[in-house]
Structure 1
Amino acid sequence: MLQTKLVDTELIAWTIEQRRHFHMHPELSGQEYETAAYVKEKLTEFGIAIKNNYSAPNVVAYFKGTEGKKTVALRADMDALPLHEEGDKPYISTVPGVMHGCGHDGHTATLLAVANWMSTHPHLVKNNIVFIFQSSEEASPSGAKQLVEEGILDEVDVIYGIHYMSNMPLGKIGFATGPAMASCDDFDIIIEGKGGHAGNPHETVDPIYIATHLIQAFQSIVSRNLNPLHSGVISFGGIQGGNSYNVIPDKVNLQGTIRALTYEGAELMHKQTAQLTESICTSFGAKGHFHLIEGTPPLYNHPEACEFAKEIIQKTFGDDVFLPFEPVLGAEDYSYYLKEKVGVFINVGMQSEKSQYPHHHPKFDIDEEAIPSAIELMIQLALNA
């Protein structure tokens, strides 16, 4: 456990208790009403004003600083996953088929601890603080997108968020500067051909054969159209067409995902996948229908916010604690906040024997030794921003 300057053992124990409560009572994306009610109850106990002009089950609270020259937003996500938890921990999920398999219970408890601390040390808080307890990070529609559209960041100067990471050593804190996480958009494609007997292929327009060309052509977008410095990937995850040995079907369905580290890369791949679907299918005498399912944009950590966060980490915990992160092609809807305002998304390491399973695994768990430093980090960022 890293040494903390502002966080005492009583607050740490309280936070772990809250985290275990959330873990035992998980709720899926968009359904976090009991979690939201619990968070509101605690915030009310702290005397922190709840803003009721945002859509439920999101919870937004406001703490007025002593000077109020700057407004800092702090975000935690609240939703769980449709997984049946495995293991024998005393705080195992009480909801069959639902568990906190990504650490959002820890994020919520950590932000609640920050609110608790500020309520007992109001004289130390100069900046205004917006607490964002966000619904629906794991599924669409995105809770972050919804809150941004509702004006959550209108008066905010900078925003910070954390994520406990099971693939990052316990005791390390870090992030990637600039492009950090990918966009995530899905697509459905229907290829309409002309079915017939497999012995008479000349009388058909074979959608399976056309699909093979489409799958190959999509890879050329990444290798020949996308700037090599703008990482991206297109992957097919599903193909359905036909159910007989000797019948060529009249239709094939394809599903896949498009991910990019830059806005420009994402836009290019959206455009090219749609164009290739239409042109290749037309060239074979078929009809191609491309449907893009828009997801989250790329997550861009602003360099100026990263420089400040790195300085805070090193001053608070020591130079050796900061660990630069490589960009990853996973996605996070925190990217909607960073598209609008300066900020950074920070990884808090917790890889250990207790936290040896990856995120979204039925045996995933948070190593609670990481919690004190996460609370300290968020307080220091909010106080000094």
Structure 2
Amino acid sequence: MNQLMDMLADRKDEMIAIRRHLHQNPELSFQEKKTAAYIINFYQGKDVEIETNVGNGYGVIVTIKGGKPGKTVALRADFDALPITEETDLPFQSKNEGVMHACGHDAHTAYLLILADCLIQLKDQLHGTIKIIHQHAEETPPGGAKDIVEEGHLNDVDAIFGIHVLPLAPAGTVGYCSGDTFSGRSYFNLKIQARGGHGSSPHKANDAIVAGAHFVTTVQTIVSRRLNPFDTGVVTIGSFDGKGTSNVIKDSVEIDGDIRYFSDQTEAVINKELHRIVNGIEVMFGVNCELKYDVGYPPLYNDPELTAFVANTLAKVKDKDIKKVTEFPKMTPSEDFAYYLEKVPGSFFFIGCTPKGVDEPYFNHHPKFDIDEDAMLVAAKSVGYVVLHYLNGKEG
């Protein structure tokens, strides 16, 4: 344990250098060819098994077989970026116009590469096996996790752990949440086809905007009148494409929406009611509707026992870099790590990364998002403590 922590501390600068390289060279989901090649090259010549093109994209899985028998644990970090134009003034800004590591996946990959390399060097002392999952395409459904699970890569795994950097606390803070942690997400596209006409003769037309506006208002009653008040559900209309001119009645409109929920039962209710409202819009306004509804990611549920293990383990370590271990509230972003947790028990926890001297940091997915790079060493040490305690059979 002490040997691993010393090795990680000695390689902090290397984590930062890797993160900055990845930050300068971001790639979108399902297009991460060069990033995957960088990861694969990092492991070349090391005493591990390397699987490439895992899942439905550029996933990489590295298997570290310990010198002693034991359980199998998986660690995951994602490596895709977002279609965002960077607005920071960092000297290592993105070189790819319109693409940015605005969610911290560059930091996730950097910490896990160094942690994995240190564990490889200590493999003869390890009890059990560690699977390092470098996952592509977390940001874009169907994501990379679902296919990795369906291909059977977790069939021999006893537990899985992952982290996400969040600017909810300064570096040195580790957050955990038991049970419901992140919401599930679905999304829809609705096209309403009516009959256009002249603004002076509405009786000769059939206004798609009126039908669409009625849909936007009515769909909010799903949450207010169809869900149990104790269930969490959100329906957001993110786009209403009905631009035209003032004296022309629109022939058609297109609406995009986002849905959040913490249970499959809640999703089923929203799904059913959304379709029923669309059918009613067709009848009420005499329009034709085309609705495309896709389930994105399921709710992320952290195993309570393993989450308590994580929290207790990290609360007991005496490490100058891990300054606070605290409970975080459940949140409504979505994460395809949820697919792993549907397959095997595990815990997805959080690393504070608020930049030093910043009172109101930009949150993940903002074009000015940045991190305190000290958070990467905190991540590496935290996951290192958790995995070694787990494989050694120590209670948290």
The TM-score, its normalising length taken from structure 2, stands at 0.89
Deviation at 1:135, TM superposition (A): 0.7
SS at match of 2:110: helix
Aligned partner of residue 76 in structure 2, secondary structure: strand
Question: Per the alignment, do residues 35 and 252 of structure 1 end up closer, same or farther by CA in structure 2, a change over 3 Å counting?
Answer: closer
Provide, for residues 130-151 of structure 1, a one-character-per-residue CA deviation record: whole Å limited to 9, x for no partner: 1000111112341112212222
For 1:105 and 1:10, the matched residues in 2 are separated by: 20
Q: Is residue 129 from structure 1 mapped to residue 130 from structure 2 by the alignment?
A: yes
Aligned to 1:150: 151
Which residue of 2 is the match for residue 357 of structure 1?
A: 362
* Cα distance change on mapping 1:360 and 1:251 into 2, 3 Å: same
Query: Residues 182 and 260 of structure 1 are in contact (CA less than 8 Å); yes or no, is this contact kept in structure 2?
Result: yes
Q: Report the number of matched residues.
A: 382
Partner residue, 1:95? 96
Shift of 1:198: 3.2
Q: Residue 209 and residue 179 in structure 1: after superposition, are their counterparts in 2 closer, same or farther (change >3 A)?
A: same
More deviation in 217-226 or 144-153?
144-153
Distance 1:138 1:130 in 2: 22
Native 8 Å contact 2:88 2:369 kept in 1: no
**Preserved contact between residue 46 and residue 115 of structure 1 (Cα < 8 Å):** no
Structure 2 CA distance, aligned partners of 1:173 and 1:251?
49
1:207 maps to 2:208: yes
Q: Distance in 2 between matches of 1:85 and 1:317?
A: 38
Code of the aligned partner of 1:269 = I
What are the Cα deviations for residues 142-176 of structure 1, in whole angstroms up to 9, with x where unaligned? 11122122222111111111111122232211122
Cα deviation for residue 124 of structure 1 reads: 3.3
Tell me if structure 2 keeps the 8 A contact 1:242–1:248: no
Q: Which whole-Å CA distance do the structure 1 matches of 2:176 and 2:121 have between them? A: 30
> Which residue of 2 is the match for residue 326 of structure 1?
329
Cα separation, partners in 2 of 1:242 and 1:38, compared to 1, 3 Å: closer
Cα deviation, residue 65, structure 1: 2.3
* 1:339 pairs with one of 333, 337, 342: 342
Question: Is the Cα–Cα contact under 8 Å of residues 52 and 59 in structure 2 kept in the other structure?
Answer: no
2:374 counterpart of 1:369: yes
Contact 2:74 2:130 in 1 (8 A): yes
Work out the CA distance in 1 between the residues paired with 2:45 and 2:16: 18
Residue equivalent to 1:378: 383
- Do residues 75 (structure 1) and 76 (structure 2) align? yes
**Does the 8 Å contact 1:358/1:364 carry over to 2?**
yes
CA distances 1:341-369 after superposition (whole Å, capped 9, x unpaired): 21111110011337733222333222111
Indicate how the Cα distance of structure 1 residues 93 and 208 shifts in structure 2: closer, same or farther if over 3 A, else same. Answer: closer
The Cα shift of 1:264 comes to: 1.4
What secondary structure does 2:11 align onto? helix
CA 1:240–1:70 in 2, change beyond 3 Å: closer, same or farther? Answer: same
The TM-score normalised by the length of structure 1 is: 0.92
Give the drift of 1:27.
1.8
Q: 2 CA distance for matches of 1:203 and 1:196? A: 7
Inter-partner Cα distance in structure 1 for 2:118 and 2:210: 63
Q: Distance in 1 between matches of 2:186 and 2:372?
A: 32
Letter in structure 2 aligned against 1:250: D
Amino acid at match of 2:269: L
Distance in 2, Cα, partners of 1:297 & 1:258: 11
- Three-state SS of the structure 2 residue aligned to 1:367 is coil
Q: In the aligned structure 2, how far is the partner of 1:95 from the partner of 1:209?
A: 41
Deviates more, 1:92-101 or 1:228-237: 92-101
Q: Secondary structure at the match of 1:223?
A: helix
1:109 Cα deviation from its structure 2 partner? 0.9
Distance 2:242 2:375 in 1: 48
Partner of 2:393: none
Structure 2 spans left out of the alignment, 5+ residues: 391-396
Letter in 1 for 2:156: E
Partner of 2:394: none
The share of aligned pairs that are identical, in percent, is 37
Unaligned runs of 5+ in 1: none
Alignment of 1:285-324 (within 5 A): 285-317=286-318, 321-324=324-327
Tell me: CA distance 1:39–1:354, structure 2 relative to 1, closer, same or farther (3 Å). Answer: farther
C-alpha displacement of 1:339 = 1.9
CA contact (8 A) 1:278 1:287 kept: no
Letter in 1 for 2:261: A
277-286 vs 240-249, greater mean Cα deviation:
240-249
Asked if the contact 2:176–2:349 (Cα under 8 Å) also holds between the matched residues in 1, the reply is yes
SS of 2:349's equivalent in the other structure is: strand
Amino acid at match of 1:17: A
